[in-house]
Amino acid sequence: MSPADGPARATFVEAGIPVIVDSVVATGYDRFIQFGQQSLSRSHESFTAFARNFDCVIASTIFGAPLIHDATAKAIPLFWWIHEGLVGDHFIRKFPILASTIGLAEFIVTPDQRSRQIYQPYTRRSVRVLRYGIPDIGSARDAERKPGPLRFLLLGTMEYRKGQESLLQALDQLPQKILERTLFQIVGRPHDDRLVSKIKAAAAKSAHLHFSDSVSHKEALALIREADVMVCTSRDETGPLTLIEAMAFGKPILSTWVGAVGENLVPEEDALFVEPGDAAGLAAAITRLVSEPALLQKLAVNSRKAHESYFSFDRFGQEFLCLVEEVISAHKLNRAAKPLEEAIAISP
């Protein structure tokens, strides 16, 4: 159920999952801000009346807070799947009602430990961690290196949090002999016009840097498949999913220490890691990947193995289903216990 239509609808419909698009559902940025400012008194009465017909409600992202607030008040079984890290922390500090809503939620699930630590102080219940998992979209052939310059791909929305500026600074520090053996591609949906202008200007001056605007998920996967190294320069992530998709293709990973990837992959074995904002460290890692083909091959092989070990879809699906079943079972137990508690309370 969503307040607006989108490209994911086709995927759900193809899988036989009914999709309801209803503008009264209070999710999304604008309604969330109204909720935070307490100018949105409730998500919508029709939502809670409708939600009572289901065994479990799953609210996705921090923007599901209005639904969590109202569904909890109506004793509707639910869990809150929060994907935001530092962004969520920012909103908690900004909106006191959000902190109290976190305390109300029966089940909160995050994709990584760092995000769990952000939300845990606001609730007495244990915040769970469920690592992402994706279908096995790759194969061993996808990891085969093609002749030519080493192709680095940085894929993500254009914003400060994603750290694209660090890559621009790193390119300025690369020795010319290394730069001549590389090709960098930055792709993403513009969120910060100043940053986009800076990337475009750098690409216009360099034959080794290309910039592309928004792409579909299908096009993004094609870019990942053609890349030799997947790069992440983010300051804050919970996955990131682009790296997990690259791992499925057996692509070497060069990333900052963020998200579930940073928490699970072994440095120097499964991936190369640098600190967020460390342009010099990023330039040194790029130099190593260009100069050490054995390292590149090892990271490719181990990247694929790490995907199978940590981010398989089967593991994710089983754990997700267990959480849903736990929510439903706990709700049934609470309902069964309530009449007994009431009887004890009124007994002489």
210-219, 245-254, 285-294: which range is least confident on average? 210-219
Residue 141 pLDDT > 90: no
C-alpha span between 82 and 62 (Å, rounded): 5
When pLDDT is cut at 50, 70 and 90, the band that residue 333 belongs to is confident
What are the structural domain ranges in the chain? 8-133+314-346, 140-310
Residue 106 pLDDT: 86
Q: Do domains 8-133+314-346 and 140-310 have the same CATH topology?
A: yes
Q: CATH code for 8-133+314-346?
A: 3.40.50.2000
Which pLDDT score, from 0 to 100, does residue 147 have?
79
- 314: pLDDT strictly greater than 90: yes
What is the tens place of the pLDDT at every residue in 189-248?
999 999 999 999 999 999 999 999 889 889 999 999 999 999 999 999 999 999 999 999
pLDDT band at 169; cut points 50, 70, 90: very high
Per residue, the 3-state secondary structure of the chain, as one string, reads CECCCCCHHHHHHHCCCCCCECCCCCCCHHHHHHHHCCCCCCCCHHHHHHHCCCCCEEEECHHHHHHHHHHHHCCCCEEEECCCCHHHHHHHHHCHHHHHHHHHCCCEEECCHHHHHHHHHHCCCCCEECCCCECCCCCHHHHCCCCCCEEEEEECCECHHHCHHHHHHHHHHCCHHHHCCEEEEEECCECCHHHHHHHHHHHHHCCCEEEECCCCHHHHHHHHHHCCEEEECCCCCCCCHHHHHHHHCCCCEEEECCHHHHHHCCECCCEEEECCCCHHHHHHHHHHHHHCHHHHHHHHHHHHHHHHHHCEHHHHHHHHHHHHHHHHHHHHHHHHHHHHHHHHHHCC
- pLDDT tens for residues 15-59? 999 999 988 787 778 888 988 998 876 667 788 888 888 999 999
pTM higher than 0.85 for the full model? yes
Q: What is the pLDDT of residues 70-100, one digit of tens each?
A: 888 888 888 899 999 999 999 999 999 999 9
Distance CA 72, CA 106 (A): 8
pLDDT given at position 342:
47
CATH number 3.40.50.2000 given to 140-310: yes
Q: What is the mean pLDDT of the chain?
A: 91
